[in-house]
């Protein structure tokens, strides 16, 4: 079989031969696609002081909360940068749970998550229409760390419970389940 490679075009329409420059073009493309202007004004931030402070979110999640999230992981999904698929975490829950809980608690104390859990690998898929050399004719799929997703789900579940209790459905959009 003959192996071929598609040449990408620069933003100005010139063909890019060099593989490194093609990678730079993808970085440029996704930087344009995913960069957003901050739309929150200083005035809007100043209104936050009027809301009650809910300290229950400061409490570290118990191990059972983490276990429920891990058990609810979807299988058959591609792993992120770390290469760990959800099946490994689900199957190894009896051995891994305590260690993962320690890591979650450490992140909770520090107020930060390791960079590897926040980074995404972007895989580009051709949309099957248009010029293959045009970056706009590709869809970027972000592959995220499964553990990053687990930690994010723990936080989301807690925020959802709080929102359901503090803000009645009449003043917010109902959550998607």
Comparison of pLDDT for 45 and 20, the residue scoring more: 20
Mean pLDDT of the chain: 88
pLDDT of res. 177: 52
Res 175 pLDDT > 70: no
Comparison of pLDDT for 53 and 93, the residue scoring more: 93
DSSP string, the chain: -----PPEE-TTS-EE--HHHHHHHHHHHHHHHH-------HHHHHGGGGSPP-GGGGSPPPHHHHHHHHHTPPSSPPP-TT---HHHHHHTHHHHHHHHHHHHHHHHHHT---HHHH-EEEEEEE-SSS-TT-GGGEEEEEEE-HHHHHHHHHHHHHHHHHHHHHS-GGGSPPPP-
User: What integer is the mean pLDDT of 67-88?
Assistant: 94
User: What integer is the mean pLDDT of 97-122?
Assistant: 94
Res 34 pLDDT > 80: yes
The pLDDT > 70 percentage for the chain reads: 90
């Amino acid at each position: 079989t003959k192996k071929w490679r598609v040449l990408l075009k620069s933003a100005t329409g010139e063909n890019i031969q060099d593989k490194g420059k093609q990678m730079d073009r993808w970085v440029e493309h996704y930087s344009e696609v995913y960069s957003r202007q901050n739309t929150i004004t200083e005035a809007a931030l100043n209104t936050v002081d009027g809301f009650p402070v809910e300290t229950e979110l400061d409490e570290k999640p118990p191990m059972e909360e983490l276990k429920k999230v891990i058990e609810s992981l979807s299988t058959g999904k591609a792993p992120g940068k770390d290469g760990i698929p959800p099946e490994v975490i689900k199957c190894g829950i009896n051995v891994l749970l305590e260690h993962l809980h320690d890591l979650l608690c450490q992140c909770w104390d520090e107020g930060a998550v390791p960079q590897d859990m926040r980074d995404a690998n972007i895989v580009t898929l051709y949309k099957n229409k248009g010029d293959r050399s045009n970056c706009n004719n590709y869809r970027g799929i972000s592959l995220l760390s499964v553990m990053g997703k687990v930690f994010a789900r723990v936080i989301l579940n807690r925020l959802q419970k709080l929102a359901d209790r503090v803000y009645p459905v009449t003043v917010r959009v109902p959550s998607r389940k």
